[in-house]
Amino acid sequence: MSRVLVVDDDPQLLRALRITLRAAGHEVVVAPDGATALREAAASHPDVVVLDLGLPDLDGTEVLAGLRPWFTGPVLVLTARTASADAVAALDAGADDYVTKPFDMDELLARLRAVLRRRSTETTAPVVVTDHFTVDLAARQVTVDGVPVRLTPTEWALLSELVRAPGRLVGQRQLLQSVWGPAYETETNYLRVYLAQLRRKLEPDPAHPRYLHTEPGMGYRFRP
Amino acid sequence: MSRVLVVDDDPQLLRALRITLRAAGHEVVVAPDGATALREAAASHPDVVVLDLGLPDLDGTEVLAGLRPWFTGPVLVLTARTASADAVAALDAGADDYVTKPFDMDELLARLRAVLRRRSTETTAPVVVTDHFTVDLAARQVTVDGVPVRLTPTEWALLSELVRAPGRLVGQRQLLQSVWGPAYETETNYLRVYLAQLRRKLEPDPAHPRYLHTEPGMGYRFRP
DNA sequence: TCCCGGCGTCAAGGTCGCGTCAGGATCGGC
DNA sequence: GCCGATCCTGACGCGACCTTGACGCCGGGA
């Protein structure tokens, strides 16, 4: 079903988790400490990480910090500590959920299902491709028919906001807010000007847009 | 920041939550029982729901079941029961997270931040499907027999209001108020005109509506 | 049978939003 | 200080959308 990386220093608990998760149809990878966890995460690309906060070498939040820059899947934190301050810190550090020990195995499985269900619909596509152009969100580069095209900062901000939601309509208020700031929510003419420039640079026929559609009165939509 | 619907029958806790959430920058709507909760959720369109499982009239999971068909935001369940079976049931019924009472206020706020953060980057598709057309509320897109159909802002506002209450009757006053504003509560001819347009665009036989039904003198009803 | 309120349909007018263009302002590099 | 790129701003025409009114149909009640 999914590959789960379990990080815990208690061999007995590790064994119990491995058996239970296997029985639930998951593939299980284990790590007894933080350093191994980071290495295993990079090597085995798990779908979800179950992370104990109390580790021998690193603090759990440190592992989380090491994971988060590149690991986009959900992280479920496990902790024996009763102080909820730790949980707060973990959640704010990027954890998706946490369970305090001792915990019920069914509850852990349910929370795991919940976080996996949430993530299952997410898109993890750093590069968007169409028949005529490609947008590499990570490299900040756009190519039309294979040749790179220069975009101004504003054009790029607008385009990335649109391609990040392929097929979805993005309201003009949202576009204005994320590109120009909350104070410009009514300056819809900005959108008209820059959408025209983007179409000129990207669309095969700017007069009849094929990818950057406008929905009158509502916003714009990128259709791949 | 966000609109939060808090459902709990304990007036004291309700008051504490209202104050704390307000202080955290949220807009707060409260409901003391399940029936009120469902009504308020439909009326005020909250971003997130904090739901106590122990309510006087309905079971919490029933409220969840009533909410989930159309409510797309996260639901955070609150429960005094220690048995984790309830939590498992709630999570599988569509809850995003749960906290057991007594709980730390900071922890609740942290979990609220966590679910709201997830929601902001998520692409969960609350999509309503019929045999002839589909309505994707998140993407703001309607397809009839697979092909996308353009709707005007007014048409969309009206349709989404109807589709969000599948099977339920929506009064003409409520429709007029939420689409055109409180000042237009008597302009029932607007509804006739736009319902006709929606039927023309969506119904297989606009003269004999199969999905968008008229309840004379009362309102309209979407039947999936 | 006639009347009447509610609904569906249609068409026409006015308004609003969008695309386009160009000129001026601003900023950064040399 | 000059120059280019980039951004902002305003004006204009056009098309789409919203509004408004009129008309016919249907069902219930007098």
What pLDDT, in 10s, does the model give residues B13-23?
889 889 989 98
Which domain-ending residue is among A76, A100, A120? A120
pLDDT for B127 equals 77
Interface test with A, best of B64, B86, B112, B118 (most A CBs within 10 A): B118
Q: Are B119 and A96 in contact (CB under 8 A)?
A: no
Q: CA–C1' span, A168 to C14, in Å?
A: 32
More confident position, B196 or A97: B196
Percentage of chain B surpassing pLDDT 90? 38
Please tell me which residue of chain A has the smallest CA distance to B156. A218
CA distance A6 to A55: 12
pLDDT tens digits along A102-137: 777 877 888 888 777 766 544 444 678 899 999 987
Model pLDDT, residue B123:
43
Across the interface, whether the CB atoms of B97 and A114 are under 8 A apart is answered: yes
Q: Are residues B106 and B9 in the same domain?
A: yes
Q: Taking CA B150 as the corner, what is the angle to CA B147 and CA B151, rounded to the nearest 5 degrees?
A: 135
**Measured between beta carbons, which residues in chain B are less than 8 angstroms from residue A122?**
121-123
- Answer yes or no: do B179 and B99 share one domain: no
Out of B121, B151, B179, pick the residue that ends a domain: B121
Q: Indicate which of B91, B141, B179 best probes the interface with A, i.e. most A CBs within 10 Å of its own CB.
A: B91
Nearest to B195 by CA among B186, B184, B207: B207
Secondary structure class of B72 (helix, strand, coil): coil
**Whether the predicted pLDDT of B57 surpasses 50:** yes
Range of the domain at B187: 127-222
What's the rounded Cα separation, in Å, for the pair A142 and A156? 9
Domain boundary among A68, A94, A120: A120
pLDDT class of B159 with cuts at 50, 70, 90 = very high
Q: Is B41 helix (H, G, I), strand (E, B) or coil?
A: helix
Q: Are residues B181 and B100 in the same domain?
A: no
> pLDDT digit string (tens) for A69-94?
567 778 888 877 565 666 677 777 77
Domain match, B213 and B147 both:
yes
Statement to judge: residues A114 and A9 lie in one domain: yes
On whether both A131 and A93 belong to a single domain, the answer is: no
DSSP line for chain A: --EEEEE-S-HHHHHHHHHHHHHTT-EEEEESSHHHHHHHHHHH--SEEEEESB-SSSBHHHHHHHHTTT--S-EEEEE----HHHHHHHHHTT-SEEEESS--HHHHHHHHHHHHHHHHT----SEEE-SSEEEETTTTEEEETTEEE---HHHHHHHHHHHTSTTSEEEHHHHHHHHT-GGGTT-HHHHHHHHHHHHHHH-SSTTS-SSEEEETTTEEEE--
**Same domain, residue pair B134 and B114:** no
Q: Which residue in B has a C-alpha nearest to residue A169's C-alpha?
A: B139
Q: Is the pLDDT of residue B179 over 90?
A: yes
The answer, for B129 touching chain A at a CB cutoff of 8 Å, is: no
Residue B170 and residue B94 share a domain: no
Nearest-CA residue of chain A relative to B116? A96
Same structural domain for residues A115 and A15?
yes
Mean pLDDT for the stretch of residues B103-130: 73
Q: What pLDDT was estimated at residue B84?
A: 61
What is the domain-level CATH number for residue A168?
Answer: 1.10.10.10
Q: Are residues B117 and B146 in the same domain?
A: no
A96 with A173, same domain? no
DSSP per-residue letters across A47-89: SEEEEESB-SSSBHHHHHHHHTTT--S-EEEEE----HHHHHH
pLDDT value of position A123: 42
pLDDT of res. A124: 45
Q: Is B121's CB within 8 Å of A122's CB?
A: yes
| Radius of gyration of chain B measured on its C-alpha atoms | 19
- Window A:73-112, CB contacts with B under 8 Å: 84-85, 87-88, 91-92, 95-97, 103-104, 106-107, 109-111
Whether residues B30 and B55 fall in one domain? yes
- Give the pLDDT score at A142: 92
Average pLDDT, chain A: 83
pLDDT band per the 50, 70, 90 thresholds, residue B124: very low
Measured in whole angstroms, the distance separating CA B140 from the mean position of its chain's CA atoms is 16
The DSSP call for residue B52 is E
Identity of the residue in A87, A109, A113 whose CB atom sits nearest the CB atom of B107: A87
Please state the domain count of chain B: 2
Distance B102 CA to D20 C1' (A): 59
